A and B are shown apart, each in its own frame.
Chain A
Amino acid sequence: MRFAIVVFPGSNCDHDAYHAVTQVLGHDAVLVWHKDTDLGGADAVILPGGFSYGDYLRSGAIARFSPVMGCVAEFANAGGPVIGICNGFQVLVEAGLLPGAMCRNRQLKFICEHVSIRVEQTDTPFTRNARVGQVLRIPIAHGEGSYYALPETIAALETQRQVVFRYTSPGGELDERNDLWNPNGSTAAIAGICNARRNVVGLMPHPERACEAAMGSVDGRTILESVVATLATQGVLA
């Protein structure tokens, strides 16, 4: 199974993702430069975290016009699994592959810590191995990750069950106004969403940084192993 990890100028979690895929999961990964116009025959695409183009203008605003994003959109529109992590999520919303936008964190701080996120939906390629209501302990590291969308967009996300992860207490309780439980002030405590077709998922937390016990949590493996399991059911050989 082969993962394409897109590298923008300023990506800095590309090698973390590469390590997680190749060393932890034991699958192939190719680093795809933002100027490339093919995805190297990948079965799944990861848009990694970082500060593409120095976060100039808005996070992800310039990266979305990179040549490679045409291939990513084509891959996504064909139903291929795509995950955007942190800056990758910001790129996906800027590109219009996911709805909404990112605002500065409510407390104006760059937050780098482990948080609890609750799995809301398991019928996406990235949550297949999880249980609804399962709380994952995964780190966030961002200054501009407060998810926002128009009220009608939020309503549509809810009715179409596109909210995939929410920030919660360690016990899974939801309180949007609580700075500990919803650290960046996201609308409806949204930590991750999927598109209507459910094959494109974006989330602010970093599953690739929570794949080995030495990193303090292995909960991120659930997300990455889910896509491996999904691809396996589609006949993609390990």
Chain B
Amino acid sequence: MKARVHVTLKPSILDPQGQTIARALRSMGYDGVRDVRQGKYFEVDVDAASVEDGLAMVREVAERVLANPVIESFRVDVDPDES
């Protein structure tokens, strides 16, 4: 199965990269862009006895390694095309 992990900065954390991207987009004429928050996306290919087992392992990995819980949050799901 392939799990997908999205890691994003917590709302309280300043994201200077996202702000710079938002400013650039507005200067290109995309006036409707209010804000951009930049994050990370991981595809984790795992061998697991069940989808539940696989998801549990990927959640653990996300918590311990892929995200820093001090500044980031994450969500994990299964790629429906590759489950």
Contacts and interface: CB of A to CB of B under 8 A. Distances in A.
Q: Check if A and B associate.
A: yes
Interface of A: 57-58, 61-62, 65, 93-94, 100-101, 103-108, 148-150, 185
Contacts, number: 31
B68 A58 contact: yes
Contacts of B17: 104, 108
Given A101-B70, A101-B71, A106 B65 contact: no
Closest A-B pairs by Cβ, 8 of them: A101-B70, A101-B71, A108-B16, A101-B68, A104-B16, A58-B68, A106-B16, A148-B71
A101 B66 CA distance: 14
B70 A57 contact: no
A61 B65 CA distance: 7
B13 interface: yes
A7 B66 CA distance: 23
B36 to A, nearest CB: 14
Interface of B: 13-14, 16-17, 20, 65-66, 68, 70-71
Contacts of A58: 68
12 contacts: A57-B66, A61-B68, A93-B70, A94-B68, A100-B70, A105-B16, A106-B14, A107-B16, A108-B20, A148-B13, A148-B71, A150-B70
Nearest to A58: B68
Contacts of B68: 58, 61, 94, 101
Contacts of A149: 70
Nearest to A99: B70
A107 B16 CA distance: 7
A148 B70 contact: yes
A93 B68 CA distance: 10
B14 to A, nearest CB: 7
A63 to B, nearest CB: 12
Most central of B13, B14, B17 by chain A CB within 10 Å: B14
Nearest to B71: A101
A185 B13 CA distance: 12
Contacts of B16: 104-108
Contacts of A107: 16
Nearest to B70: A101
A118 B41 CA distance: 39
A104 B13 CA distance: 11
A148 B68 CA distance: 12
A175 B71 CA distance: 24
